[in-house]
Structure formats: structure tokens, C-alpha cells
Chain A
Amino acid sequence: SAVHLPVTPSNVCKARRLYIDFKDVGWQDWIIAPQGYMANYCHGECPFPLSESLNGTNHAILQTLVHSLDPHGTPQPCCVPIHLSPISMLYYDNNDNVVLRHYQDMVVDECGCR
């Protein structure tokens, strides 16, 4: 019967933007492009009731319900990446060869509760 205050929005699970400039980490002499990397990450609560914007699965919706009933026994669902994009890097290797490398699933576009 206790009044249940919802988590303030800023704490809700979502992608947090983080940009890393390669100059800041001293990689500009071997990386040709891009200039930096979107190292976004997911962080935040998955509160009950799970709103649609939190992209939860049915399982995650049930887990938030169980967590609300037994917060110490069952954790909340996790705030994780649910959509990622590839990135490409153009760089010089140790032999001064020019290399283009593609990486799958490197940039977090969207987060959700799972």
C-alpha cells in the first residue's frame, strides 16, 4: 500500500552519449579517419511498469513486476544496447600500409530493458 514514486526520467534506461576524440588518446598519428568514436553506452533504471519506450521484452516486463514485489530477491532487468551500428576505420599499420577495417555492432544507437 506504500505510495510508489516513479524514478525521475533522467534515471531511466537510455543511451548516454560519449564521444572520444582520437587526438585526446594520442591516436592521431596512425588513424587517418574518422577523427573520433561515438562510444555511447546504456545506463539507467528499468522501473515498473515498464513503458513501451524502454523497448522491453515480455520477460523484462514480468521481471520488473517481480522486482517491485521482491526488490531484494529479484533484480531489475538490465539496460543494454538493442541496436548497434558498424563503424569503419582507415589507418596506417606498422608497415605503413593503408588499412580499411569494418567493425560490426560498434556504436550504440538504442538501449532497452532486457
Chain B
Amino acid sequence: EEAKSPERLFLGSLGLSGRPRPAGSQQPGRHVPSALWRMFRRSEGDHAEESDPCTVSEYGVRGNIIRYVQDQGRLVSGWSSSCRACLEKQLYFNMSVLQPVELLSLAQLEITFHWKLLQGPRALSVSLYQVIRATLRGADPQAGRRLLLSQSVRLQHEPTSVAVDLTALAEGWRKPGRNYGLLLELLPLDAEPEELLPFHPGNSLPLEPASALPLVQASLVAVSLNPHQCRSGRRRRR
């Protein structure tokens, strides 16, 4: 009966498989990315008539759905097995949230580093890998990964962001069993590792390795088009 309720039929016509039940619905004032607020307000503003609801002008692509897919990865270990002085962060974005009918037009990874005052390095070497398959503990970690990006980042007082276009990769993640996520490797450039962390590599478990490094926030901006809600060839009002 639920399947045929008026609400479900109505939400279905809006392209939603049902009433969303977000886990954090009880947390008032949850974070909404400021970029999405800006887009929403622009679409509601005085120039709404001129803007095309099926084009995301901020990214210059076709689309009527913009998702900030949250990172569900975790801190893998205090130290990277392939680089003794590095910190590893697993990144995982669940792309199954896109409905099969939707056409993915952009998937952009945005990594933001929030530098902590008076503590930690001022510059990082950042390496991003695609995890191709799971590797056994002790196997060559390089075998299961592919380098996507390697660059240095100078940390400022304001948050510093790095953007990477992962559209082709994210399209592949929509197929079940193809998404092993990403691996982010951070190497402090202007401080000795020992100075940073309250323990030496010999310890079995790090106490709080990340506390010495900047806060890393990652999200995947996925822009997609639902062709049922965007009829092409729509003549603009003259």
C-alpha cells in the first residue's frame, strides 16, 4: 500500500524513489554547503526567469540535480605503508545515490585543508590515488592503486581547496562492485614527522596523528540531468 500512496506517487513524479529519511534529521542546523545555498538563492531570485533550470551555470554543464556527496572514508592508519612519513586518508563516495535514469555530467572532488593555527606544517605534498582493487595486508600497496594527482599545497589562514575532475571515474563507480574509493596521502613538507606526532613509527597504534595535521574535508560535487524533468528543445520564452 505504501508503494501506491499518493505521497509516493507524487514524490516519484519529482524523481524521488520515496520520502527521504536522512539519518541526521534530528540535528538542527546541519551544515549546508554555502555554494549550494548561493545556487538555491540565485534560482529563487529575480533573475530566475532567465536562468535555465536544466543548466548549472556555476560549472557550465547540463544538469538539474547538484549533489554534495559526503565522504564516507576513514583514516586508514597513522602512517602510510608505502610512505613512512605520510598520513593516509581513505575517501569513499557512494554513487549509487544517483538514479539509473540520471545522466552524470560532472563529478568534481573538492578537498579543503583547514590549517590549524600555531600547530603543524605549513606545506603538504598531496597525492591522490584511485584504489583499483583491495590488496592484502603486506602486499605491495602500489599494485592496487593508480596515481591520479600529486601536488604540493601551501596552507594559508583561510581554508585551501584542491579540485579534481573525476567524472569518468565516478561514472564507473555507479556500477555495483566497482567502487573501491580513493586514497589521499599527505606528507608534511616543512616539518620532521617526529616533530609532529607524539609517538614514533615504532608504536603499534598512533594516538592522535591527525591532530597534528590540518583538518581535511572532502566532498564530491555530482551534477546530473534527469531527462524526464528536462525536456530538451524547450523554446525559451521570447
Residues of B within 8 A of A25 (CB): 7
Residue B20 is within 8 A (CB to CB) of chain A in the complex: yes
| In the complex, chain A residues 57-93 whose Cβ is within 8 Å of any chain B Cβ | 83, 85-86, 88-93
Q: How far is the CA of A34 from the CA of B44 in the complex (A)?
A: 9
Closest to A25 in B: B7
Residue B70 is within 8 A (CB to CB) of chain A in the complex: yes
Are A98 and B67 neighbours in the complex by a CB distance under 8 Å?
Answer: yes
Residues of A within 8 A of B49 (CB): 85
Residues of A within 8 A of B14 (CB): 89, 101, 103
* Chain A interface category by residue count: 20 to 34
| Given A86-B53, A104-B53, A104-B234, A96 contacting B40 (CB threshold 8 A) | no
Are A94 and B32 neighbours in the complex by a CB distance under 8 Å?
Answer: no
Are A30 and B20 neighbours in the complex by a CB distance under 8 Å?
Answer: yes
From A33, A93, A100, B20 is in contact (CB under 8 Å) with A93
| In the complex, chain A residues 11-44 whose Cβ is within 8 Å of any chain B Cβ | 25, 27, 29-30, 32-34
Residue A7 is within 8 A (CB to CB) of chain B in the complex: no
B35-68: CB near A (< 8 Å → 1, else 0) gives 0110110011000110001100000000011111
User: Which B residues are closer than 8 A to A by beta carbons?
Assistant: 7, 14-15, 19-26, 30-33, 36-37, 39-40, 43-44, 48-49, 53-54, 64-70, 94, 97, 229-231, 234, 237
User: Which A residues are closer than 8 A to B by beta carbons?
Assistant: 25, 27, 29-30, 32-34, 83, 85-86, 88-104
